Amino acid sequence: MERNKENYYSSLYELAATLNSSRAPDSILQSVVEGVAKAMGAKGCSLMLLSPDMKVLLHTAAYGLSDWYVRKGPVSADKSISEALEGKPVAILDATEDHRIQYREQAKKEGIASILSVPMMLREDIIGVIRVYTAERHQFTMDDMYFAGGVANLGAIALENARLYEAVQRDYETFRQDMLEWRAALGHEWMVGEAVTPSEE
């Protein structure tokens, strides 16, 4: 799973281009988890967003993980690598033994050895986490953490932009529909032509 800085630079560039071109939030999130897993040579990657009450992490996108593992149960924000929600990347060497892992038995059954969890931040707010899973025990490096963290923040920005874009589209369609209904209520079609200036007598 060793990756050098040059590989991470090129992967980050490619991911940034992909995220910049994606409009649908689902597409953005899937690009993030797939891109991180492939760039890091990991078993899988998941992206979890915080619930509105900030008590639960909701599996939103995953790559390389079984449906069974993704749906294993509610992920408690204060029981599952909670340090990541304080804004710090957290590396877990042995996911089957570390007490910071909420579902240790399930991780063992899934074949997960080590986990890297990085916060997903939008401005000053943490909105979720990205987790990288390896099949063999792995000592995550600072380069690993910087790369995963950088993608997480890019993903957060791209997600917000996509939501803003959708909101603008909805507002435009609502405005357009209102205008059509207003015109229909007038009982005649509007004709657009050149303005006529009254002649002087």
126-179: pLDDT as tens digits: 989 999 999 999 999 999 999 999 999 888 888 877 666 565 556 556 656 666
Which of 189, 66, 65, 193 is closest to 130 using CA atoms? 65
Query: What pLDDT score was predicted for residue 105?
Result: 96
Binned at pLDDT 50, 70 and 90, residue 2 comes out as low
Report the C-alpha gap between 88 and 189 in whole angstroms.
61
Question: How many Cα atoms sit within 13 Å of 58 on the Cβ side?
Answer: 9
60-89 mean pLDDT: 91
Q: Are 33 and 130 in contact (CB under 8 A)?
A: yes
pTM over 0.95: no
pLDDT score recorded for residue 22: 58
CATH number of the domain at 5-164, out of 3.40.50.300, 3.30.450.40, 3.90.600.10, 1.10.10.60? Answer: 3.30.450.40
Question: How is the chain split into domains, by residue range?
Answer: 5-164
Of all residues in the chain, what percent carry a pLDDT higher than 70? 77
The pair of structure tokens assigned to 105 is 């038995």
Q: What is the mean pLDDT of residues 76-81?
A: 87
pLDDT above 50 for 72: yes
